[in-house]
Structure 1
């Protein structure tokens, strides 16, 4: 792989087994969120879906299930997909379960670590917002409401 210049240079394994090519989101802002089904922040799936639906022409949302924090994503990819669809109506892309922290983290999250001043992801539902060219704009903590002014100010 040549030198990475943006998030669009990556792909993620899709929860359905098909790759998610992040280059397909070029031209839109992009929100990447590491997720978990048994976390206190899990209800944020609802707001993330609302963001994805409301800003469908200008924002892409991708969730990355991970069991890295408190073993709060113990399910299989199929169980996660069903849980998210059934309980939160999630239709935005989800990756297969990946590691987002530690020495075995997915290459995308290694790149994010380098982009974010060598800071590891701290907990589930940390959010990375990118501009239309795939450059990191802002990192939001787990407690940041996906529909709150802090995020919406970048989208409107």
Structure 2
């Protein structure tokens, strides 16, 4: 497997979904957390999604509880929190692990492609229309700072 579209992920209802469903679309993949100092970035991620979704961009949020237990236990609480507090309409997936032996295969691939282990919540990966990682952005990088790079892959 050498493209993001080759992987499957779990949706919040537990169903398995192939990322092939997004083939040909640029993706912004983010490990998120609802109780983190970077949680306000949900607003910026939603703004990017709204600004570029008609051009094909899909933002995918993957809740992760691996860093200081900053995610709700129940995925329904997570999705409600994101919708109510930040107006999130982009797809959120099931909770994942991004590091270690139990890391989601997608995140193993993303890390191999660009930069090694994930250090914290809200690490962002930009994927072009061909399924290749073109950028990695550490948690402190605000979503708006990625606009030029996103526009290059649209």
- Fold shared, TM-score > 0.5 on shorter chain: yes
- Give CA-to-partner distance per residue, 1:83-134, whole Å, 9 cap, x none: 11111111111111111111111111111222125x1011000000010011
d(CA) in 2 for partners of 1:63, 1:40:
16
Structure 1 distance, partners of 2:120, 2:31, is 8
Alignment gaps of 5+ in structure 1: none
Please, what TM-score do these two structures have when normalized by structure 1? 0.91
Find the counterpart in structure 1 of residue 101 from structure 2. 103
Give the equivalent residue in structure 2 for 1:80: 78
Measure the CA separation in 2 of the matches of 1:20 and 1:122.
26
What stretches of structure 1 move > 4 A for 4+ residues in a row? none
TM-score norm. by structure 2 comes to 0.92
* Greater helix share, structure number: 2
CA shift in 2, pair 1:113/1:155, >3 Å: closer
Q: Is the 8 A contact 2:26 2:128 kept in 1?
A: yes
What per-residue deviation string (whole Å, max 9, x for no partner) do you get for residues 125-150 of structure 1? 000001001101010000111012xx
